[in-house]
A and B are shown apart, each in its own frame.
Chain A
Amino acid sequence: MSDAVAAFSPDATPRARCAPILPLAVRDLVLRYGQTTMLERLSFDLGPAGCTMVMGPNGSGKSLLLKLLHGLMVPTSGRIDWSGHAPSDVTARHAFVFQKPVLLRRSVAANIDFVLKVRGKHRNRCDLLLNHVGLSHKADQPARLLSGGEAQRLALARALAVDPEVLFLDEPTASLDPASVVAIEAIVTDARSRGMRVIFVTHDMGQARRMADDVLFLNRGRIAEHSRAADFFPEPQSQAARDYLHGRIVV
């Protein structure tokens, strides 16, 4: 674990001097494509620490919400306030892991090295990061020949390489085997324990129970419920969440 500490710590000092970007306040967020409303007047607050699970049926707008918060998309109206910063101003202080990892056509190590280089980080952290995600032995292999679980761990290592304050995870364990899920969760849990704010989209109920501090439940582009995990799982307030948790089809 000392390797992991070294992997994360060198760039911590400059960040301490930056104005904080948490807590996050979202007010009346609307996203429309033409006549179709994808997200309808979302308002919620996220505190400075912990893991928020964004849940809800397919098409409820979870991924869109993450991309809006990260600054990859611009809302039709409403406000996303990262403690006084607009999303696009703080994108560099976030990291995003996509459901299908986009890996460069290079070796495993070169994928990390590329990010360290473009973000002006210490290049010697590449080995430490690969060791942290258990991919040291594959450092010289082509990244695109990795298995699904390995590819996602590499994507996570690449995300951690930028020392993000907020880590967005968009269904990173979808279609992975249980061992890979455990490995990914361990890395994310470790990152959270170091103070990284995690915003995690998942359909995996067990995973949500294991990792969530709070749950933001979306249904048809609206917030059906935002509760502490300890309240959400035993006693969901909304009918949509109750149906979802009980495996009933939510349409």
Chain B
Amino acid sequence: MRDAFGLALQLVISGDADLLEIVQLSLRVSLTATAVACLIGLPIGALVAIGRFPGRNAVLVLMNALMGLPPVVVGLLVYLQLSRSGPLGFLGLLYTPTAMIIAQTILITPIVAALSRQVLEDLHTEYAEQFRSLCLTKLQTVQALLWDARYSLLTVGLAGFGRAVAEVGAVIIVGGNIDHLTRVMTTAIALETSKGDLALALALGIILLIIALGVNAAVQAVRMTASRQAYV
């Protein structure tokens, strides 16, 4: 364990180029997937939050169930679509960072949609009567809710990012863990573990944990500022 910490420190201090590349790719893939998942998931969450339609409860159950999508299953499904014999094989995306972004987006969009639905529904309960009195359209209601819940939704985005950056099953299937192309933190850890280099694997794990802590701390700082201004 001490070796692992020492190695992690050494890797960070030395500014190891390979490590930086892996970290950068991890952040690029997971942040992009989080952004896309928010673009898709937040409007879905908002519409379900304010909508009253037949089968709404079934949609809620489905959304919540999809939060637990197994990454390997998502990876496999995306693989089947993107493989050369698959319907989207002509795009040539398999074993590229784009394929990894697609897989992670599918994995975390339900998380963003389900959690934002809860946040927005609570806020809508507070605003609904005032909004009806102001004769807001559905679109105006959704826009207002998304804006007013923006700091709470940061936490939702963070939950999605956390899931994306930590998962290995989907990215290893559609990315292939190719050095200098699709190797990210988690796949590198899996590789080093299988090679028996446990110290390096643990060192990479520690760095991944520090990145996750850093992102969480940044979001928490933003939320605390907003909370002081009663915007949360």
Binding site for B on A (CB under 8 A): 70, 72, 91-92, 94-96, 98, 102, 104-106, 114-115, 118-119, 142-145, 162
Question: B91: CB under 8 A from chain A?
Answer: no
**A-B Cβ contacts below 8 A, count:** 45
Question: A98 and B136 in contact (CB under 8 A), knowing A105-B148, A145-B229?
Answer: no
A162 CA / B144 CA spacing, docked (Å): 17
Interface presence of B10 (CB below 8 A): no
B130 touching A145, Cβ below 8 Å? no
**B64 → chain A closest CB, angstroms:** 26
Chain A residue with minimal CB distance to B148? A105
The reply to whether B129 and A98 form a contact with Cβ atoms under 8 Å apart is yes
| Cross-chain contact A105 with B230 (CB below 8 angstroms) | yes
A162 touches B231 (CB 8 A): no
Residues of B near any A CB (own CB < 8 A)? 126-127, 129-130, 132-136, 140, 144, 147-149, 229-232
| Distance of A70 Cα from B134 Cα, bound (Å) | 11
Compute how far the CA of A92 lies from the CA of B136 in the bound complex, rounded to whole angstroms.
Answer: 9
Are the CB atoms of B134 and A102 closer together than 8 Å? no
Can you list 25 A-B pairs with a CB-CB distance of less than 8 A?
A70-B133, A72-B132, A91-B132, A91-B133, A94-B133, A96-B130, A96-B133, A102-B127, A102-B129, A104-B127, A104-B144, A105-B149, A105-B231, A105-B232, A106-B148, A106-B231, A114-B144, A115-B134, A118-B134, A118-B136, A142-B231, A143-B230, A144-B230, A145-B229, A162-B134
B96 CB, min distance to chain A CBs, angstroms: 41
Extra A-B contacts (11), CB below 8 Å, given A91-B132, A104-B144, A144-B230? A70-B133, A91-B133, A105-B149, A105-B231, A106-B231, A118-B136, A119-B135, A142-B229, A143-B230, A145-B229, A162-B134
- Contact, CB under 8 Å: A95 / B230: no
* Centre residue among B130, B133, B134 by max chain A CB count within 10 A: B133
In the bound complex, what is the Cα–Cα distance between A236 and B147 (angstroms)?
50
**CB < 8 Å neighbour of A102 from B126, B135, B230, B232:** B126
Q: Which residues of B contact A96 (CB under 8 A)?
A: 130, 133
Do the beta carbons of B230 and A145 come within 8 Å of each other?
yes
| Partner among A72, A94, A119 whose Cβ is within 8 Å of the Cβ of B129 | A72
What residues of chain A lie closer than 8 Å to B229, measured between beta carbons? Answer: 142, 145
Residues of chain A within 8 A (CB-CB) of B148 are 104-106
Identity of the chain B residue whose Cβ is nearest the Cβ of A102 in the assembled complex: B130
On chain B, the residues within 8 Å of A95 by CB distance are 133
- Chain B residue nearest in CB terms to A145: B230
| C-alpha gap A84/B148 in the complex (Å) | 38
Which of B127, B134, B232 has the most C-beta atoms of chain A within 10 angstroms of its own C-beta? B134
Within the complex, what minimum Cβ distance (angstroms) separates A147 from chain B? Answer: 13
- CA distance in complex: A30, B10 (Å): 78
CB distance from A160 to the nearest CB of B (A): 13
With A92-B135, A105-B148, A106-B148 as known contacts, state yes or no: A98 contacts B230, CB within 8 Å.
no
A119 x B133 contact (CB < 8 A): no
Chain B residues contacting A145 (CB-CB under 8 Å) are 229-230
Query: What separation, in Å, do the CA atoms of A46 and B124 have in the docked complex?
Result: 33
A52 to B133 CA separation, bound complex (whole angstroms): 20
Contact yes or no, B231 A119, CB < 8 A: no
- Closest partner residue, chain B, to A161 (CB atom): B134
Q: A residues within 8 A CB of B232?
A: 105
Instruction: Give Cα distance in the complex from A143 to B229, angstroms.
Output: 9
Bound Cα distance from A98 to B140, whole angstroms: 21
A106 vs B123: C-alpha distance when bound (angstroms):
14
Chain B residues within an 8 Å CB radius of A102: 126-127, 129-130
Q: Is the CB of B231 within 8 A of A98?
A: no
Cβ of A114: which chain B residues have Cβ within 8 Å of it?
144
- Chain A residues contacting B144 (CB-CB under 8 Å) are 104, 114
